[in-house]
Amino acid sequence: MEFLISPTTVPLLVVCPTENAKGGTLELFQSVHGWLMVLYERDCRRRFAPDDHWLRKDLKPSVLSQELDKDRKRAQLILQYIPHVVPHKNRVLLFRNMVTKEKEKLGLVETSSASPHVTHITIRRSRMLEDGYEQLRQLSQHAMKGVIRVKFVNDLGVDEAGIDQDGVFKEFLEEIIKRVFDPALNLFKTTSGDERLYPSPTSYIHENYLQLFEFVGKMLGKAVYEGIVVDVPFASFFLSQLLGHHHSVFYSSVDELPSLDSEFYKNLTSIKRYDGDIADLGLTLSYDEDVMGQLVCHELIPGGKTIPVTNENKISYIHLMAHFRMHTQIKNQTAALISGFRSIIKPEWTRMFSTPELQRLISGDNAEIDLEDLKRHTVYYGGFHGSHRVIIWLWDILASDFTPDERAMFLKFVTSCSRPPLLGFAYLKPPFSIRCVEVSDDQDTGDTLGSVLRGFFTIRKREPGGRLPTSSTCFNLLKLPNYSKKSVLREKLRYAISMNTGFELS
Protein backbone atom coordinates (compact mmCIF):
# COMPACT_ATOMS: atom_id res chain seq x y z
CA MET A 1 0.00 0.00 0.00
CA GLU A 2 1.04 3.61 -0.48
CA PHE A 3 1.03 6.13 2.38
CA LEU A 4 0.44 9.83 1.88
CA ILE A 5 0.89 11.93 5.01
CA SER A 6 -0.95 15.22 4.95
CA PRO A 7 1.22 17.99 6.45
CA THR A 8 -1.72 19.90 7.92
CA THR A 9 -2.09 20.97 11.52
CA VAL A 10 -3.94 17.74 12.25
CA PRO A 11 -2.09 15.03 10.27
CA LEU A 12 -4.36 12.67 8.37
CA LEU A 13 -3.30 9.20 7.31
CA VAL A 14 -4.65 8.33 3.90
CA VAL A 15 -4.18 4.81 2.65
CA CYS A 16 -4.41 4.42 -1.13
CA PRO A 17 -4.78 0.78 -2.13
CA THR A 18 -2.86 -0.77 -4.97
CA GLU A 19 -4.58 -2.92 -7.59
CA ASN A 20 -3.57 -6.04 -5.66
CA ALA A 21 -4.77 -4.83 -2.27
CA LYS A 22 -7.08 -7.31 -0.57
CA GLY A 23 -8.19 -8.72 2.75
CA GLY A 24 -7.29 -6.67 5.81
CA THR A 25 -5.48 -4.00 3.79
CA LEU A 26 -8.56 -3.26 1.69
CA GLU A 27 -10.82 -3.27 4.75
CA LEU A 28 -8.47 -0.84 6.50
CA PHE A 29 -8.51 1.47 3.50
CA GLN A 30 -12.31 1.38 3.19
CA SER A 31 -12.76 2.18 6.87
CA VAL A 32 -10.16 4.97 7.04
CA HIS A 33 -11.23 6.50 3.74
CA GLY A 34 -14.94 6.33 4.63
CA TRP A 35 -14.49 8.17 7.91
CA LEU A 36 -12.14 10.68 6.29
CA MET A 37 -14.82 11.54 3.73
CA VAL A 38 -17.45 11.85 6.47
CA LEU A 39 -15.26 14.49 8.13
CA TYR A 40 -14.58 16.26 4.85
CA GLU A 41 -18.25 16.36 3.79
CA ARG A 42 -19.31 17.68 7.19
CA ASP A 43 -16.67 20.37 6.88
CA CYS A 44 -18.12 21.26 3.46
CA ARG A 45 -21.59 21.66 4.98
CA ARG A 46 -20.40 23.70 7.95
CA ARG A 47 -16.78 24.80 8.16
CA PHE A 48 -14.81 23.73 11.23
CA ALA A 49 -11.33 23.45 9.68
CA PRO A 50 -9.07 26.15 8.17
CA ASP A 51 -9.51 26.78 4.44
CA ASP A 52 -6.29 25.00 3.44
CA HIS A 53 -6.56 22.18 5.99
CA TRP A 54 -7.27 19.45 3.44
CA LEU A 55 -4.66 20.45 0.86
CA ARG A 56 -1.42 18.58 0.20
CA LYS A 57 1.02 21.47 0.21
CA ASP A 58 3.76 19.36 -1.37
CA LEU A 59 1.54 18.29 -4.27
CA LYS A 60 2.20 20.30 -7.43
CA PRO A 61 -0.92 20.54 -9.63
CA SER A 62 1.20 20.86 -12.78
CA VAL A 63 2.98 17.59 -11.98
CA LEU A 64 -0.35 15.91 -11.20
CA SER A 65 -1.70 17.02 -14.58
CA GLN A 66 1.35 15.58 -16.34
CA GLU A 67 0.98 12.32 -14.43
CA LEU A 68 -2.68 12.10 -15.47
CA ASP A 69 -1.72 12.68 -19.11
CA LYS A 70 0.58 9.66 -18.81
CA ASP A 71 -2.18 7.57 -17.17
CA ARG A 72 -0.10 7.10 -14.02
CA LYS A 73 -1.95 5.09 -11.36
CA ARG A 74 -0.87 7.29 -8.44
CA ALA A 75 -2.40 10.42 -9.98
CA GLN A 76 -5.61 8.57 -10.84
CA LEU A 77 -5.90 7.26 -7.27
CA ILE A 78 -5.54 10.77 -5.86
CA LEU A 79 -8.43 12.06 -7.99
CA GLN A 80 -10.50 8.95 -7.32
CA TYR A 81 -10.15 8.83 -3.55
CA ILE A 82 -8.78 12.12 -2.19
CA PRO A 83 -9.41 14.85 -4.81
CA HIS A 84 -9.85 17.45 -2.07
CA VAL A 85 -6.07 17.50 -1.45
CA VAL A 86 -5.79 19.31 -4.82
CA PRO A 87 -6.75 23.04 -4.85
CA HIS A 88 -10.25 23.62 -6.21
CA LYS A 89 -9.16 25.86 -9.09
CA ASN A 90 -6.76 23.18 -10.32
CA ARG A 91 -9.49 20.55 -10.22
CA VAL A 92 -11.72 22.80 -12.31
CA LEU A 93 -8.87 23.20 -14.82
CA LEU A 94 -8.44 19.42 -14.87
CA PHE A 95 -12.18 19.03 -15.49
CA ARG A 96 -12.15 21.50 -18.39
CA ASN A 97 -9.09 19.73 -19.79
CA MET A 98 -10.88 16.37 -19.61
CA VAL A 99 -13.86 17.81 -21.50
CA THR A 100 -11.58 19.29 -24.17
CA LYS A 101 -9.72 16.01 -24.64
CA GLU A 102 -12.98 14.10 -25.00
CA LYS A 103 -14.22 16.60 -27.60
CA GLU A 104 -10.99 16.11 -29.56
CA LYS A 105 -11.29 12.33 -29.30
CA LEU A 106 -14.90 12.40 -30.51
CA GLY A 107 -14.09 14.75 -33.38
CA LEU A 108 -16.16 17.59 -31.93
CA VAL A 109 -13.44 20.23 -32.36
CA GLU A 110 -12.86 21.96 -35.68
CA THR A 111 -9.45 21.29 -37.20
CA SER A 112 -7.70 22.26 -40.42
CA SER A 113 -8.69 18.94 -41.97
CA ALA A 114 -12.19 18.36 -40.61
CA SER A 115 -15.25 20.13 -39.24
CA PRO A 116 -17.45 18.67 -36.53
CA HIS A 117 -20.96 17.47 -37.28
CA VAL A 118 -23.57 20.13 -36.54
CA THR A 119 -27.12 19.35 -35.37
CA HIS A 120 -29.70 21.91 -36.49
CA ILE A 121 -32.97 22.34 -34.62
CA THR A 122 -35.92 24.64 -35.29
CA ILE A 123 -37.71 26.12 -32.28
CA ARG A 124 -40.94 28.08 -31.96
CA ARG A 125 -40.59 30.64 -29.18
CA SER A 126 -44.19 30.08 -28.10
CA ARG A 127 -43.47 26.35 -27.65
CA MET A 128 -39.79 26.43 -26.75
CA LEU A 129 -39.90 23.71 -24.09
CA GLU A 130 -42.09 21.37 -26.15
CA ASP A 131 -40.04 21.79 -29.35
CA GLY A 132 -36.73 21.51 -27.53
CA TYR A 133 -37.84 18.38 -25.73
CA GLU A 134 -39.12 16.67 -28.88
CA GLN A 135 -36.04 17.46 -30.97
CA LEU A 136 -33.27 16.91 -28.44
CA ARG A 137 -34.43 13.94 -26.40
CA GLN A 138 -33.90 11.56 -29.32
CA LEU A 139 -30.38 12.78 -30.13
CA SER A 140 -27.51 10.37 -29.62
CA GLN A 141 -25.02 10.94 -26.83
CA HIS A 142 -22.44 11.98 -29.43
CA ALA A 143 -24.79 14.55 -31.02
CA MET A 144 -25.76 16.03 -27.63
CA LYS A 145 -22.09 16.61 -26.86
CA GLY A 146 -21.51 18.19 -30.26
CA VAL A 147 -22.42 21.49 -31.86
CA ILE A 148 -26.14 22.33 -31.79
CA ARG A 149 -27.40 25.24 -33.86
CA VAL A 150 -30.78 26.75 -33.02
CA LYS A 151 -33.06 28.54 -35.46
CA PHE A 152 -36.02 30.38 -33.96
CA VAL A 153 -39.24 30.70 -35.96
CA ASN A 154 -42.62 32.26 -35.26
CA ASP A 155 -45.87 30.31 -35.07
CA LEU A 156 -46.23 30.54 -38.86
CA GLY A 157 -42.83 28.96 -39.37
CA VAL A 158 -41.17 32.18 -40.56
CA ASP A 159 -37.51 32.42 -39.58
CA GLU A 160 -36.42 35.02 -37.05
CA ALA A 161 -33.59 37.15 -38.34
CA GLY A 162 -30.63 36.28 -36.17
CA ILE A 163 -27.00 35.35 -35.97
CA ASP A 164 -26.45 31.60 -36.04
CA GLN A 165 -23.69 31.48 -33.45
CA ASP A 166 -23.22 29.94 -30.03
CA GLY A 167 -25.09 32.83 -28.43
CA VAL A 168 -28.42 31.65 -29.84
CA PHE A 169 -27.94 28.19 -28.34
CA LYS A 170 -27.01 29.84 -25.02
CA GLU A 171 -30.27 31.82 -25.12
CA PHE A 172 -32.22 28.65 -25.93
CA LEU A 173 -30.53 26.73 -23.11
CA GLU A 174 -31.18 29.52 -20.60
CA GLU A 175 -34.85 29.76 -21.60
CA ILE A 176 -35.34 25.99 -21.36
CA ILE A 177 -33.75 25.92 -17.90
CA LYS A 178 -35.80 28.92 -16.80
CA ARG A 179 -39.01 27.11 -17.76
CA VAL A 180 -38.29 23.61 -16.46
CA PHE A 181 -37.14 24.89 -13.06
CA ASP A 182 -40.09 27.23 -12.61
CA PRO A 183 -41.95 25.79 -9.57
CA ALA A 184 -45.24 26.61 -11.31
CA LEU A 185 -44.53 23.74 -13.73
CA ASN A 186 -44.24 21.41 -10.69
CA LEU A 187 -41.25 19.48 -11.97
CA PHE A 188 -39.24 21.05 -9.15
CA LYS A 189 -40.00 22.49 -5.72
CA THR A 190 -38.07 24.89 -3.54
CA THR A 191 -36.95 24.15 0.00
CA SER A 192 -38.86 25.87 2.79
CA GLY A 193 -35.93 27.90 4.07
CA ASP A 194 -33.45 29.09 1.46
CA GLU A 195 -35.60 28.28 -1.61
CA ARG A 196 -33.26 25.82 -3.28
CA LEU A 197 -34.47 23.43 -5.94
CA TYR A 198 -35.12 19.70 -5.82
CA PRO A 199 -37.45 17.34 -7.76
CA SER A 200 -41.11 17.73 -6.83
CA PRO A 201 -42.60 14.58 -5.24
CA THR A 202 -45.87 15.25 -7.11
CA SER A 203 -44.26 15.78 -10.52
CA TYR A 204 -45.80 12.46 -11.57
CA ILE A 205 -48.91 14.43 -12.56
CA HIS A 206 -47.08 15.00 -15.86
CA GLU A 207 -47.74 12.06 -18.14
CA ASN A 208 -44.13 11.83 -19.34
CA TYR A 209 -42.46 13.16 -16.19
CA LEU A 210 -39.54 10.71 -16.13
CA GLN A 211 -38.63 11.52 -19.74
CA LEU A 212 -38.82 15.21 -18.83
CA PHE A 213 -36.43 14.71 -15.92
CA GLU A 214 -33.98 12.85 -18.15
CA PHE A 215 -34.21 15.75 -20.61
CA VAL A 216 -33.54 18.24 -17.81
CA GLY A 217 -30.50 16.21 -16.78
CA LYS A 218 -29.16 16.29 -20.34
CA MET A 219 -29.65 20.06 -20.64
CA LEU A 220 -28.00 20.66 -17.28
CA GLY A 221 -25.14 18.37 -18.30
CA LYS A 222 -24.81 20.18 -21.64
CA ALA A 223 -24.51 23.52 -19.81
CA VAL A 224 -21.73 22.18 -17.58
CA TYR A 225 -20.05 20.48 -20.56
CA GLU A 226 -19.95 23.74 -22.53
CA GLY A 227 -19.01 25.88 -19.52
CA ILE A 228 -22.29 27.84 -19.59
CA VAL A 229 -23.12 28.96 -16.06
CA VAL A 230 -26.81 28.90 -15.13
CA ASP A 231 -28.29 30.56 -12.05
CA VAL A 232 -30.04 27.48 -10.66
CA PRO A 233 -29.52 26.91 -6.91
CA PHE A 234 -29.98 23.26 -5.92
CA ALA A 235 -30.65 21.84 -2.46
CA SER A 236 -27.51 20.35 -0.96
CA PHE A 237 -29.07 16.91 -0.41
CA PHE A 238 -30.00 16.72 -4.10
CA LEU A 239 -26.46 17.62 -5.18
CA SER A 240 -25.20 14.82 -2.91
CA GLN A 241 -27.40 12.40 -4.84
CA LEU A 242 -26.15 13.79 -8.15
CA LEU A 243 -22.62 13.00 -6.95
CA GLY A 244 -23.63 9.54 -5.71
CA HIS A 245 -22.73 10.20 -2.07
CA HIS A 246 -25.93 8.53 -0.88
CA HIS A 247 -24.55 5.14 -1.96
CA SER A 248 -21.82 5.29 0.70
CA VAL A 249 -22.31 3.12 3.80
CA PHE A 250 -21.26 6.17 5.82
CA TYR A 251 -23.96 8.41 4.34
CA SER A 252 -26.62 9.71 6.74
CA SER A 253 -29.93 11.08 5.48
CA VAL A 254 -30.44 12.79 8.84
CA ASP A 255 -27.28 14.87 8.34
CA GLU A 256 -28.65 16.15 5.01
CA LEU A 257 -32.24 16.75 6.16
CA PRO A 258 -31.74 20.42 7.21
CA SER A 259 -31.00 21.28 3.58
CA LEU A 260 -34.53 20.13 2.71
CA ASP A 261 -36.55 21.39 5.68
CA SER A 262 -34.84 22.74 8.79
CA GLU A 263 -38.08 22.89 10.80
CA PHE A 264 -38.96 19.30 9.94
CA TYR A 265 -35.42 18.32 10.97
CA LYS A 266 -35.82 20.05 14.36
CA ASN A 267 -39.19 18.40 14.97
CA LEU A 268 -37.86 14.99 13.97
CA THR A 269 -34.72 15.15 16.08
CA SER A 270 -36.72 16.38 19.08
CA ILE A 271 -38.16 12.86 19.19
CA LYS A 272 -34.68 11.56 19.96
CA ARG A 273 -34.46 13.83 23.01
CA TYR A 274 -38.03 13.20 24.19
CA ASP A 275 -37.93 12.15 27.86
CA GLY A 276 -41.36 10.55 28.08
CA ASP A 277 -42.88 7.53 26.42
CA ILE A 278 -42.82 8.12 22.64
CA ALA A 279 -45.78 5.77 22.24
CA ASP A 280 -47.94 8.46 23.87
CA LEU A 281 -47.48 10.62 20.74
CA GLY A 282 -49.43 8.12 18.64
CA LEU A 283 -46.88 7.98 15.82
CA THR A 284 -46.51 5.04 13.44
CA LEU A 285 -43.82 4.06 10.96
CA SER A 286 -45.62 5.97 8.22
CA TYR A 287 -45.83 9.45 6.74
CA ASP A 288 -49.10 11.23 5.91
CA GLU A 289 -48.96 13.66 2.99
CA ASP A 290 -51.53 16.06 1.56
CA VAL A 291 -51.55 15.44 -2.20
CA MET A 292 -53.85 17.87 -4.03
CA GLY A 293 -56.37 17.88 -1.20
CA GLN A 294 -56.24 14.17 -0.43
CA LEU A 295 -54.41 12.64 2.53
CA VAL A 296 -52.08 9.88 1.36
CA CYS A 297 -50.38 7.52 3.82
CA HIS A 298 -46.88 6.33 2.91
CA GLU A 299 -45.56 3.35 4.86
CA LEU A 300 -41.89 3.71 5.77
CA ILE A 301 -41.61 -0.09 5.91
CA PRO A 302 -44.15 -2.75 4.85
CA GLY A 303 -47.06 -2.60 7.30
CA GLY A 304 -45.61 0.56 8.86
CA LYS A 305 -48.95 2.28 9.43
CA THR A 306 -49.82 -0.38 12.02
CA ILE A 307 -46.43 -0.30 13.79
CA PRO A 308 -46.24 2.30 16.59
CA VAL A 309 -43.12 4.38 17.21
CA THR A 310 -41.65 3.46 20.60
CA ASN A 311 -38.60 4.36 22.64
CA GLU A 312 -36.96 1.24 21.22
CA ASN A 313 -37.46 2.04 17.52
CA LYS A 314 -37.50 5.86 17.55
CA ILE A 315 -33.96 6.15 16.11
CA SER A 316 -34.95 3.88 13.23
CA TYR A 317 -38.07 6.01 12.72
CA ILE A 318 -35.97 9.19 12.44
CA HIS A 319 -33.66 7.66 9.83
CA LEU A 320 -36.52 6.06 7.90
CA MET A 321 -38.42 9.34 7.79
CA ALA A 322 -35.38 11.33 6.62
CA HIS A 323 -34.63 8.73 3.96
CA PHE A 324 -38.22 8.75 2.75
CA ARG A 325 -38.43 12.54 2.44
CA MET A 326 -35.16 12.96 0.56
CA HIS A 327 -34.86 9.71 -1.39
CA THR A 328 -37.87 7.39 -1.59
CA GLN A 329 -40.33 10.16 -2.48
CA ILE A 330 -38.29 11.34 -5.46
CA LYS A 331 -36.15 8.31 -6.33
CA ASN A 332 -37.59 7.86 -9.83
CA GLN A 333 -37.30 11.55 -10.72
CA THR A 334 -33.76 11.73 -9.35
CA ALA A 335 -32.66 8.57 -11.16
CA ALA A 336 -34.00 9.90 -14.47
CA LEU A 337 -32.28 13.26 -14.07
CA ILE A 338 -28.99 11.62 -13.06
CA SER A 339 -29.21 9.32 -16.09
CA GLY A 340 -29.55 12.32 -18.40
CA PHE A 341 -26.81 14.29 -16.65
CA ARG A 342 -24.34 11.40 -16.73
CA SER A 343 -24.98 10.79 -20.41
CA ILE A 344 -23.09 14.08 -20.91
CA ILE A 345 -20.89 14.38 -17.81
CA LYS A 346 -18.94 11.30 -16.73
CA PRO A 347 -19.45 10.51 -13.02
CA GLU A 348 -15.69 10.22 -12.46
CA TRP A 349 -15.36 13.86 -13.53
CA THR A 350 -17.80 15.19 -10.94
CA ARG A 351 -16.47 12.98 -8.15
CA MET A 352 -13.58 15.43 -7.96
CA PHE A 353 -15.95 17.94 -6.35
CA SER A 354 -17.87 18.35 -3.12
CA THR A 355 -21.54 19.36 -3.15
CA PRO A 356 -20.83 23.12 -2.76
CA GLU A 357 -18.17 22.82 -5.47
CA LEU A 358 -20.61 21.11 -7.83
CA GLN A 359 -23.03 24.00 -7.31
CA ARG A 360 -20.23 26.40 -8.23
CA LEU A 361 -19.46 24.31 -11.33
CA ILE A 362 -23.10 24.71 -12.39
CA SER A 363 -23.73 28.31 -11.32
CA GLY A 364 -20.33 29.99 -11.23
CA ASP A 365 -18.21 31.37 -8.42
CA ASN A 366 -19.79 32.81 -5.28
CA ALA A 367 -16.89 35.20 -4.72
CA GLU A 368 -17.17 38.95 -5.30
CA ILE A 369 -16.93 40.04 -8.91
CA ASP A 370 -13.38 40.91 -9.95
CA LEU A 371 -13.96 44.08 -11.97
CA GLU A 372 -10.35 44.26 -13.15
CA ASP A 373 -10.62 40.73 -14.53
CA LEU A 374 -13.94 41.60 -16.20
CA LYS A 375 -12.44 44.78 -17.67
CA ARG A 376 -9.45 42.87 -19.09
CA HIS A 377 -11.74 40.46 -20.94
CA THR A 378 -14.39 42.89 -22.22
CA VAL A 379 -14.82 43.46 -25.96
CA TYR A 380 -16.10 46.82 -27.27
CA TYR A 381 -18.12 47.59 -30.40
CA GLY A 382 -19.92 50.46 -32.10
CA GLY A 383 -17.23 53.05 -31.43
CA PHE A 384 -16.70 52.23 -27.77
CA HIS A 385 -13.20 51.45 -26.49
CA GLY A 386 -11.44 51.22 -23.15
CA SER A 387 -10.61 54.95 -23.10
CA HIS A 388 -14.06 56.17 -24.16
CA ARG A 389 -15.57 58.49 -21.54
CA VAL A 390 -18.77 56.41 -21.19
CA ILE A 391 -16.71 53.26 -20.61
CA ILE A 392 -14.49 55.02 -18.07
CA TRP A 393 -17.64 56.23 -16.28
CA LEU A 394 -19.13 52.75 -16.37
CA TRP A 395 -16.18 51.04 -14.69
CA ASP A 396 -15.92 53.83 -12.11
CA ILE A 397 -19.64 53.55 -11.28
CA LEU A 398 -19.39 49.79 -10.88
CA ALA A 399 -16.30 50.07 -8.66
CA SER A 400 -17.16 53.13 -6.56
CA ASP A 401 -20.93 53.67 -6.58
CA PHE A 402 -22.44 50.19 -6.82
CA THR A 403 -22.68 47.80 -3.89
CA PRO A 404 -21.55 44.15 -4.27
CA ASP A 405 -25.23 43.18 -4.65
CA GLU A 406 -25.72 45.76 -7.41
CA ARG A 407 -22.61 44.51 -9.20
CA ALA A 408 -24.09 41.00 -9.07
CA MET A 409 -27.37 42.37 -10.47
CA PHE A 410 -25.42 44.08 -13.25
CA LEU A 411 -23.67 40.84 -14.18
CA LYS A 412 -26.99 38.98 -14.18
CA PHE A 413 -28.55 41.72 -16.31
CA VAL A 414 -25.92 41.15 -19.01
CA THR A 415 -25.15 37.43 -18.76
CA SER A 416 -28.27 35.99 -17.03
CA CYS A 417 -26.08 34.76 -14.14
CA SER A 418 -25.12 36.81 -11.09
CA ARG A 419 -21.92 34.84 -10.51
CA PRO A 420 -18.66 35.02 -12.47
CA PRO A 421 -17.23 31.93 -14.19
CA LEU A 422 -15.18 29.71 -11.89
CA LEU A 423 -11.92 30.31 -13.74
CA GLY A 424 -12.51 33.99 -14.40
CA PHE A 425 -14.00 36.01 -17.24
CA ALA A 426 -11.46 34.67 -19.74
CA TYR A 427 -13.68 31.56 -19.74
CA LEU A 428 -16.98 33.41 -20.32
CA LYS A 429 -18.40 32.33 -23.69
CA PRO A 430 -19.33 34.42 -25.65
CA PRO A 431 -17.01 37.09 -24.18
CA PHE A 432 -18.48 39.97 -22.19
CA SER A 433 -19.20 42.74 -24.70
CA ILE A 434 -20.38 46.35 -24.69
CA ARG A 435 -21.64 48.14 -27.77
CA CYS A 436 -22.84 51.65 -28.37
CA VAL A 437 -26.45 51.70 -29.54
CA GLU A 438 -27.31 54.12 -32.31
CA VAL A 439 -31.09 53.79 -32.48
CA SER A 440 -34.01 54.71 -30.28
CA ASP A 441 -36.05 52.18 -28.31
CA ASP A 442 -38.78 51.89 -30.92
CA GLN A 443 -36.24 51.20 -33.67
CA ASP A 444 -34.17 48.58 -31.85
CA THR A 445 -35.83 45.32 -32.82
CA GLY A 446 -33.43 43.20 -30.81
CA ASP A 447 -30.49 41.13 -31.93
CA THR A 448 -31.38 40.76 -35.55
CA LEU A 449 -28.51 40.56 -37.96
CA GLY A 450 -29.08 44.14 -39.06
CA SER A 451 -29.30 45.68 -35.59
CA VAL A 452 -26.26 43.84 -34.27
CA LEU A 453 -24.06 44.73 -37.25
CA ARG A 454 -25.35 48.30 -37.20
CA GLY A 455 -24.36 48.59 -33.55
CA PHE A 456 -21.00 46.92 -34.05
CA PHE A 457 -19.83 49.19 -36.87
CA THR A 458 -21.48 52.56 -36.35
CA ILE A 459 -21.64 55.28 -33.72
CA ARG A 460 -24.98 56.39 -32.31
CA LYS A 461 -26.23 59.48 -34.14
CA ARG A 462 -29.24 60.35 -31.99
CA GLU A 463 -29.52 61.90 -28.58
CA PRO A 464 -29.82 59.01 -26.06
CA GLY A 465 -32.17 61.06 -23.89
CA GLY A 466 -34.30 58.79 -21.75
CA ARG A 467 -33.20 55.51 -23.24
CA LEU A 468 -32.25 52.79 -20.76
CA PRO A 469 -29.32 50.40 -21.12
CA THR A 470 -30.45 47.03 -22.46
CA SER A 471 -28.79 43.65 -22.81
CA SER A 472 -28.74 40.45 -24.83
CA THR A 473 -27.89 37.66 -22.45
CA CYS A 474 -27.47 35.19 -25.30
CA PHE A 475 -24.40 37.17 -26.42
CA ASN A 476 -23.35 38.43 -22.94
CA LEU A 477 -23.82 41.85 -24.51
CA LEU A 478 -24.54 45.21 -22.83
CA LYS A 479 -26.17 47.72 -25.19
CA LEU A 480 -25.26 51.13 -23.83
CA PRO A 481 -26.35 54.56 -25.13
CA ASN A 482 -23.66 57.22 -25.50
CA TYR A 483 -24.78 59.24 -22.48
CA SER A 484 -23.54 62.81 -22.13
CA LYS A 485 -23.37 62.78 -18.32
CA LYS A 486 -22.00 60.28 -15.81
CA SER A 487 -24.92 60.92 -13.44
CA VAL A 488 -27.40 59.97 -16.18
CA LEU A 489 -25.51 56.74 -16.89
CA ARG A 490 -25.51 55.85 -13.19
CA GLU A 491 -29.23 56.56 -12.80
CA LYS A 492 -30.30 54.72 -15.96
CA LEU A 493 -28.06 51.71 -15.32
CA ARG A 494 -29.21 51.34 -11.74
CA TYR A 495 -32.84 51.52 -12.83
CA ALA A 496 -32.35 49.03 -15.67
CA ILE A 497 -30.69 46.33 -13.56
CA SER A 498 -33.26 46.69 -10.78
CA MET A 499 -36.15 46.27 -13.21
CA ASN A 500 -34.70 43.31 -15.12
CA THR A 501 -32.45 41.02 -13.09
CA GLY A 502 -33.03 37.88 -15.13
CA PHE A 503 -34.23 34.47 -13.97
CA GLU A 504 -35.99 34.48 -10.61
CA LEU A 505 -37.46 31.45 -8.83
CA SER A 506 -40.57 33.11 -7.54
Write the CATH number for 129: 3.90.1750.10
Q: Which own/partner contact pairs does 437-442 have at CB distance under 8 Å and 24+ positions apart?
A: 437/382, 437/464, 437/467, 437/470, 437/479, 437/480, 437/481, 438/382, 438/462, 440/467, 441/467, 441/468
Considering the domain boundaries, does residue 251 fall inside one?
no
3-state secondary structure of 5: strand
433 with 486, same domain?
Answer: yes
Burial of 367 (0-12, 13-18, 19+ CB in 10 A): exposed
> What local confidence, expressed as pLDDT, does residue 168 receive?
81
**Which of 313, 338, 363 delimits the end of a domain?**
363
Considering the domain boundaries, does residue 92 fall inside one?
no
Considering the domain boundaries, does residue 302 fall inside one?
no
Considering the domain boundaries, does residue 438 fall inside one?
yes
56 with 142, same domain?
Answer: no
Question: Is 0.75 surpassed by the pTM of this model?
Answer: yes
> What local confidence, expressed as pLDDT, does residue 73 receive?
84
Structurally, the chain folds into a number of domains equal to: 3
Q: Which domain holds residue 459?
A: 371-499
Each residue's pLDDT tens digit, 62-84? 788 888 888 888 888 888 888 88
Give the Cα separation of 206 and 267 in Å (integer).
Answer: 32
Considering the domain boundaries, does residue 100 fall inside one?
no
Q: Are strands 118-124 and 147-153 parallel, antiparallel or unpaired?
A: parallel
Give the Cα separation of 335 and 244 in Å (integer).
Answer: 11
Burial of 284 (0-12, 13-18, 19+ CB in 10 A): middle
For the chain, what is the radius of gyration of the CA atoms? 26
Counting as low any pLDDT under 70, the low residues of the chain are 1-24, 26, 161-167, 249-250, 438-465, 500-506
> What local confidence, expressed as pLDDT, does residue 163 receive?
54
Asked about 44 being catalytic, the answer comes back as no
393 with 474, same domain?
Answer: yes
Considering the domain boundaries, does residue 14 fall inside one?
yes
76 with 127, same domain?
Answer: no
> What local confidence, expressed as pLDDT, does residue 505 receive?
34
> What local confidence, expressed as pLDDT, does residue 459 receive?
46
Considering the domain boundaries, does residue 313 fall inside one?
no
Burial of 273 (0-12, 13-18, 19+ CB in 10 A): exposed
133 with 222, same domain?
Answer: yes
Q: Which of 16, 417, 436, 474 is catalytic?
A: 474
DSSP state of 469: P
